[in-house]
């Protein structure tokens, strides 16, 4: 019998990250395929299917696949209900399409759960009993893993850390609520905060880059300026760190985590937020719980969700095998 492996598929708006993981959880191979969202999910999975045999190699068998995708996912049915990155893929039975093109059992979860599970098993969350992962990007995602299992809630909506209210009268969030964490530390919020500061004082390096050199304002550019000690840019991340710390203080009091990971694209600026984040946490959370938590930048980078999706597939297969009804 050939060695069994698990395939992880992280579907983003532009690219699909693929990861092949061995039975012991080791990463064996990786690849990237274009999403081409307007061509639809069937086309995307057909292209993934074409890539898989060369990625896996003839000496191994894929036992199951895991798909991670931004948006609302019906985990039990393997269905993507809606996704901000893939608006035309609404109500799509991704597990059925994947099964048809890959020929294996497939689980589907949201990308924040997949990334968190990857960090929990193979990244900075290894060995944690209570693990919280926050993903910072255009949206702010989250996931909570307790005793080895993703906390899903009744309908897999649990873990929406980006939509925790941290201020009752705060700015309007895309979800319709006011004062969500995402409305303070999402990529758009960081750019808005920088532009507001720049309009007040124009001596800034960041201002010169944006106005004179016509560079596009982005969290990455703001971070670059902050690393060159630009005061306005540093203030953006100081304030974002304090907001992040407010959310984390509540998470620490509620879940008593041993590790909190900060992952996602904007996590590259984590070191710029760390000081104000910790100051706020010390002010607001129980000292006993703060004393045992490690807060770290995620270790798997952009591969986290693909690796985590493969590991979720492995967990699902093990549980099916343990189920006397045969799953």
User: Using CB under 5 A as the criterion, which residues of the chain lie in contact with Zn ion when the complex forms?
Assistant: 163, 173, 175, 177, 180
Q: Least CB distance from residue 154 to Zn ion, whole Å?
A: 20
Give the integer Cα–Cα distance in Å for 22 and 9. 15
Select 7 or 180, whichever has its Cβ closest to Zn ion. 180
User: CB 199 → Zn ion: shortest distance, Å?
Assistant: 26
Q: Which is nearer to Zn ion, 180 or 233 (CB)?
A: 180
- Residue with smaller CB distance to Zn ion, 25 or 170: 170
Give Rg (Cα) of the chain. Answer: 20
| 325: Cβ contacts below 8 Å, ≥ 6 apart | none
* CB-nearer residue toward Zn ion: 180 or 307: 180
- Rank residues 102 and 185 by Cβ distance to Zn ion and give the closer one: 185
DSSP-derived 3-state class of residue 145: strand
Q: Minimum CB separation from Zn ion for residue 177, in Å?
A: 5
- Helix 219-227 with 270-284: angle, nearest 10 deg: 90
What are the backbone dihedrals phi and psi of residue 90, each rounded to the nearest 5 degrees, phi first?
A: -60, 145
Smallest distance, Zn ion to C-beta of residue 173, A: 3
Cβ partners under 8 Å of residue 214, min gap 6: none
Residue closer to Zn ion by CB (options 19, 247) is 247
Query: Cβ 182 to Zn ion, closest distance in Å?
Result: 5
CA–CA separation, 48 vs 101, rounded Å? 8
Chain position carrying tokens 């492996």: 5
Q: Please answer whether residues 73 and 115 qualify as being in contact, where contact means their C-beta atoms are separated by less than 8 angstroms.
A: no
Count the neighbouring beta carbons within 10 Å of the beta carbon of residue 111.
30
Rounded CA-CA distance 230/222 in Å is: 9
Q: What's the min distance (Å) between Cβ of 266 and Zn ion?
A: 16
């Amino acid at each position: 019998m050939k060695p069994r492996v698990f395939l992880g598929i992280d579907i983003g708006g532009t690219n699909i990250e693929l990861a092949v993981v061995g039975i012991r959880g080791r990463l064996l191979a990786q690849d990237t395929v274009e999403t081409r969202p307007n061509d639809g999910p069937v086309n995307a999975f057909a292209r993934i299917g074409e890539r898989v045999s060369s990625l896996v190699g003839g000496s191994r068998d894929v036992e199951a696949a895991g798909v991670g995708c931004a948006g609302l996912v019906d985990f039990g049915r393997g269905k993507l209900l809606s996704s901000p990155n893939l608006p035309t893929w609404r109500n799509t039975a991704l597990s059925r399409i994947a099964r048809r093109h890959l020929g294996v059992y497939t689980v589907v979860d949201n990308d924040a759960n997949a990334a968190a599970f990857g960090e929990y098993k193979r990244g900075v969350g290894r060995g944690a009993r209570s693990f919280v992962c926050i993903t910072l990007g255009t949206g702010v995602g989250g996931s909570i893993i307790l005793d080895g299992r993703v906390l899903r809630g009744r309908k897999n909506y649990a873990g929406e850390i980006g939509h925790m209210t941290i201020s009752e009268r705060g700015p309007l969030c895309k979800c319709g609520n006011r004062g969500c964490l995402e409305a303070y530390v999402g990529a758009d919020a960081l750019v808005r905060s920088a532009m507001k500061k720049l309009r007040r004082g124009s001596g800034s390096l960041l201002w010169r880059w944006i106005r004179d050199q016509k560079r596009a304002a982005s969290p990455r550019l703001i971070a670059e300026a902050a690393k060159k000690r630009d005061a306005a840019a540093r203030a953006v991340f100081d304030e974002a760190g304090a907001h992040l710390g407010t959310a984390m203080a509540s998470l620490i009091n509620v879940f008593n985590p041993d590790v909190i990971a900060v992952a996602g694209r904007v996590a590259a600026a984590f070191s710029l937020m760390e000081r104000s984040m910790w100051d706020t946490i010390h002010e607001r959370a129980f000292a006993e719980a703060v004393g045992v938590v490690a807060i770290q930048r995620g270790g798997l980078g952009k591969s986290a969700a693909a690796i985590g999706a493969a590991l979720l597939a492995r967990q699902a297969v093990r549980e099916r095998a343990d189920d006397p009804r045969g799953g």
